Amino acid sequence: MKKTSAICPVCSKRFNPNKSYEHIKEFHPTASDYQLAIIRDARRKCYGQSKPVKHKNAALLPHTSIFAVSQTRATKLRIA
């Protein structure tokens, strides 16, 4: 369920989860990565997501190869 406001777990102020970047810019300009992760998780909780959505893209799978073209021959590069 979508909420229109949430309480920041770092500073205990209300903020709009749709515009969390404004709250971060105003109240947490020098926040650590840990504090930003806490704010991000509070924002996700407003939308009912506990973890980020993982998108499965064929280009990200380990069996995918990228071919680099050289002037003499095509060279196959493996990405692991």
Per-residue pLDDT tens for 16-73?
988 888 999 999 999 898 999 999 888 888 887 767 666 665 555 554 455 555 555 5
Q: Provide the token pair at 77.
A: 């590069």
- Can you give the residue range of the structural domain that contains 24? 6-47
Q: For residue 43, is it within any domain?
A: yes
pTM of this structure = 0.56
**Polymer length of the chain:** 80
Identify the band that residue 3 occupies on the pLDDT scale cut at 50, 70 and 90.
confident
Spatial distance between the Cα atoms of 7 and 15, rounded to a whole number of angstroms: 6
Q: For residues 53 and 44, is the Cβ–Cβ distance under 8 A?
A: no
Q: For residue 69, is it within any domain?
A: no
Collapsing DSSP to helix, strand or coil, 6 comes out as strand
Q: For residue 17, is it within any domain?
A: yes
Q: For residue 28, is it within any domain?
A: yes
pLDDT at 12: 92
pLDDT at 49: 72
- How many structural domains are present in the chain? 1
Largest CA distance in the chain: 63
Q: For residue 59, is it within any domain?
A: no
pLDDT at 54: 64
